[in-house]
Structure 1
Amino acid sequence: MYLQDILPKMSKLYLGRIVDSFLKDVRMETEEDMRDVILRNIDEFQNKERVTRNLNFNKEKRDIALINEMILMSLMEQQGYSLSETDLFKMVHKLETEIVEQSKDDDYINTAIPAYEERVYSAVLNESWKKDDSLNEHEINILNVLRQELGLTKRDHHLLESRIGRFPQKANKLHSTKQIERSLKNLQSRGVILRFKEDTSYYIIPKEIARVVRYEMGGELRNEVYESLLDDLNVSQLKAILHNLNVSIGGKKEDLVSRIIKHNILPSTALSTFSSKELSDILKGLEGAKVSGTKEDKIQNIIDYYENLSTPESSDPTDERARLYDFYEELASRDYKALRVNKIIDKDIKTERYFEEATHYLFEKKLGVETTDMKGSKHADGKLRYSSKETILWDNKSTEQPYHFPEEHFNQFLGYIRSEESRVTLFLVVVYDYTKEAVAQAQKLKAFSDQDTDVALVKASDLKYVAENWMNYSTKKQPVFDLQVFNLTGELTRSMLISRMEWAL
């Protein structure tokens, strides 16, 4: 979820923690003020340097720093980087327990960590822990440098710490719920995770910063996505990965994939087995992936490609258009890579038509508004009955760049308005984003319509927000959507739509 989708579901306490995490000496009185100032400063919120800086836990107490890592690793393994509060506690305990159990398995350790690296790192680790029950910042920095020089992961570090009875706590004791709660507050104060509420409380890494968090924490890919990458490799390539790390290469393809996952071999480590040419060959088979660059660039390109792979089940199996609606924003922005990977399109030319179909689904199924059939082929993409004598028309324009409302479209829309038998009270243009020029064109079209037709521009993400949340703004037991929400000229921004829903519904 993007930040703008999460904020409306957050209360004042948790909004305040975000504001404090990246804006100093700013005090807001109302929740709406807080949401507004956060969105106005979103560039600072998602700034890579800020996120990276706030992911450095070296100055925190040992338990907070460690649990911070466990929380983030648990969230990164989830579709959408989100977990309910209850499930998050369970996942942290599960992750800690798994590491403790694996550390007791000598065969697992011998295959997971090369002998020389284990011996050297364990010697320094043991010495660091000898003096007392904690590590100071200097010792942590030395261990981090050594770990990176030896090519070990943070998980390798935790496994070796567990073998000397220092993970998660002394004598391998798991962290308590209260300790996890303290870390959750710490991560919120750093602006790394957010807490929101629907039917229950959830914690989430916002989409704007998820990629930075993933790489800084060494997560790289969720297991289910990593399995997709490995499934696309052939048996010889999988055996080469395992052989390079002195792990057994016996068994069928599914055994090889399972073994790579089990031994927590990072995608970057697995892919580094191949030459630059071999990586190029892999990239050539990935639709839309960038092939050029250094070997490290190519590895990163492969990982990024698969991170964008997401195949959730349709939100409504009873209507095939629901699958299109699920990828509404990708259709609006012509995100061909995501659309192809998720098998939404097989030809780019279908994007516009599918965008239209998804919008029909949105009005009919999500807003409960009946669409009207239109005769012929020269007409707007959709028509809604506003009143006995008035109509609403809409048109979808999917573009890779913000929509600027060209003169060609101006004339096209003007023709649609004037050819309608009933008065067109509103002409709605649905896009992924728009320019200031487009807003001026909308106002001009209203003036030229000869019937005082309102012309509004709305982003697909904001229209979808209305579709998903409008019932929350109604006090009626059986709410009915009022199309008056959209009836104005110019920009239908998220804040404007929320304001109109508050009084219209």
Structure 2
Amino acid sequence: MKVADAIKWMSKLPLQRIVDSFTKDFPKPDEDQARDIILRNVAELTDAKRITTVLQFDGPFKDQIRQILMLEAFVNRPDWSASEQDIVESLTRLEQDVLDAAAADGSLRYEDPERIEILKDVLRTALDDKLITFRELNLLRTLRDSLGLSETVFRIVLAQLNHFPQPGNVLHTPSECRDVLNALQRGGIVFHCNKADGSPYVIPDEIRASVMGALGMELGLHAWGLLLDALTVTQLKQALVKKKLPTSGTKSELKSRVISSGLSPSAALRILSTGDLHELCSSLPGVPVSGTKAQRIRRIIGYFANLITKEVSEEASPGERFYKYLPELARRDRENLLANQIIKKDLDIEHGFEAATRFLFESRLGLELMELAGSEHPDGCIRFGGRRTANGDVLMWDNKSTEAAYTFPPSHLRQFKRYIRDARDPVACFLVIVAKPDDSAMDSVWQLAAQCTGTQISVIAAEDLGWMAEEWWSRNPDGRFNLEVLNMTGILNRPLLEHRMKLFL
């Protein structure tokens, strides 16, 4: 979620916290004023140096650990958003997993005992000082890396010293977690979308890279898992051999073992041969295969770091899985679609786009789709309901996926005209669902509307259609959407949709 989208779901107090994070010039703006201030200052708000300064503070070691774990809880969410309860549970799980590992026999049996003792001696000295500067924390991380130890091992050692996540190995309370959430809001890092369904906390897209940099992380848990999915069983075993870990088990078990080992993505990729990296690069859409080994590794990690990942339930139907990636299907974003296993080949994009749209109309808008005979027909058709025979009776739609902005070419004009002319029922509205409408598309919109008297011609971006559907569904999960919202000639953008939803819903 981008900053511009997040602030639409925020009330006055959360908005004020974000404004105060970068300026004190506006003490009491109302909601609209606060949103305008934020939008005019997005560059300053999302500046990497500002974010790094906020996150690198000097304070008690337990407070630094608490903030790091809180941010990791966000990073490990596919869409970097969660309710307060989900975030608290995620943070508690991260802490408890470390304590469980520290209490288990042989949790460090594959590590060099001498290196563990060196780390323990340095940590004992550092922990005697109640205040640890960020520079000192970075020195501890540098020592950890020079010893060839992972962050996981670092935390287990802290727990064995009775100091994780705070003195006495005491878990942080929900109240302490809320304190961190509030502090991150005041720092302009976390946005509380308290008007949205579930009242989620979000780290916007524009801020994520800087957060990852401040944490010293290369990939979130989900993206790291996708990278490991792209490796072969043999390559996973090579990574485990490097860590002196067992290599038996299924690919899923090997993958989990690599993740829990604390091995970083770059370290795992450095184990591979130049030929393996060349082959891996060639399997990732848009990733160049030339260059040095280090360059290939950076490109591979960059590829997975920039993937759009979304939370999809394991019980989700195929239609819902496609629906979660509706904008990506519309713009033919094959990199994200392939990496997230939404499609297996390019030919699946059109089918997925159509299935996602059918799910939207049926499951989100509560509408019943009409059966269409033959193969020469639009992608979908819905009856308006009631008696509307004077002005048409149905809404037809057709999906057109394009990588570039949609220009409404003459061939599509002729195709849609044929659909409208041959329809069994009068067509009140013909809706074209695209990635992004180009302004020039309006020429064909007016032309088709003039040639099909009585039919409204609308063009809408898939992302805006999805936004509208979620808005409706969050308020009326069992209601039937009023198609009059879409029944107009022109390009339906989000402000226009908001206005028409107020009129007709």
TM-score (norm 2): 0.81
Match of 1:393 in 2: 396
**2 CA distance for matches of 1:8 and 1:172?**
40
2:494 is equivalent to residue 494 of structure 1: yes
User: Over aligned residues, Cα RMSD in angstroms?
Assistant: 3.8
Superposition deviation, residue 274 in structure 1 = 1.9
State whether residues 329 and 460 of structure 1, in contact with CA within 8 Å, keep that contact through their aligned partners in structure 2: yes
- 1:462 to partner: Cα distance: 1.4
Task: Write out per-residue CA displacement over residues 334-390 of structure 1, whole angstroms, 9 at most, x where no aligned residue.
Answer: 112333344443442342343234323322332233444556655543344442231
Unmatched 5+ stretches in structure 2: none
Contact 1:473 1:501 in 2 (8 A): no
Structure 1 residue 188 displacement after superposition = 1.6
Q: How does 1:266-281 map to 2 (within 5 A)?
A: 266-281=264-279
Structure 2 partner of 1:58: 57
Distance 1:267 1:379 in 2: 48
> 1:188 is matched with which residue: 177, 181, 185?
185
Decide whether aligned partners of structure 1 residues 378 and 240 sit closer, same or farther in structure 2, where only a CA change above 3 A counts: closer
Q: Counterparts of 1:16-415 in structure 2 under 5 Å?
A: 16-22=16-22, 25-26=25-26, 29-35=29-35, 38=38, 48=48, 50-54=50-54, 56-59=55-58, 62-103=61-102, 107-109=106-108, 111-112=110-111, 114=112, 117-130=115-128, 132-150=129-147, 152-197=149-194, 200-214=198-212, 216-221=214-219, 223=221, 226=224, 229-230=227-228, 233-245=231-243, 247-249=244-246, 251-253=248-250, 256-286=254-284, 289-303=287-301, 308=307, 312-313=312-313, 317=317, 320-372=318-370, 379-386=377-384, 387-389=388-390, 390=392, 391-413=394-416
* Residues 64 and 182, structure 1, Cα contact 8 Å, conserved in 2: no
Separation in 1 of the partners of 2:158 and 2:268?
24
- Conservation of the 8 A alpha-carbon contact between 1:428 and 1:455: yes
Give the match's secondary structure for 2:131: coil
Letter matched to residue 361 of structure 1: F
Please give the alpha-carbon distance, in whole angstroms, between the structure 1 residues aligned to 2:332 and 2:53. Answer: 34
Residues 355, 201 of structure 1: alpha-carbon distance in 2 compared, 3 angstrom cutoff? closer
Whole-angstrom distance in 2 between the partners of 1:45 and 1:452: 48
The one-letter code of the counterpart of 1:84 is S
> What is the CA distance between 1:13 and its match in structure 2?
1.8
Which blocks of at least 5 consecutive residues in structure 1 are unaligned? none
Name the structure 1 match of 2:484: 484
SS where residue 405 of structure 1 aligns? coil
In the TM superposition, residue 184 of structure 1 has moved relative to its aligned partner by: 0.8
Residue 243 of structure 1 aligns with an amino acid whose one-letter code is V
Between the aligned partners of 1:218 and 1:137, the Cα distance in structure 2 is 13
Aligned amino acid, residue 395 of structure 1:
D
Q: Which moved more, 1:174-183 or 1:219-228?
A: 219-228
Work out whether 1:12 is the aligned partner of 2:12: yes
For residues 26 and 455 of structure 1, the distance between their equivalents in structure 2, rounded to whole angstroms, comes to 44
- Amino acid corresponding to residue 365 of structure 1 in structure 2: S
Residue 488 of structure 1: how far off its partner (Å): 3.2
Structure 1 residues 89 and 422: alpha-carbon distance in aligned structure 2, compared to 1, 3 A threshold? closer
Alignment-mate amino acid for residue 258 of structure 2: I
Q: CA deviation at 1:76?
A: 2.5
Contact 2:59 2:133 (C-alpha < 8 Å) held by counterparts: no
Identity %: 34
Q: Is the 8 A contact 1:67 1:183 kept in 2?
A: yes
**For residue 388 of structure 1, what is the amino acid of its counterpart?**
T
Are 2:407 and 2:437, in contact at CA under 8 Å, matched by a contact in 1? Answer: yes
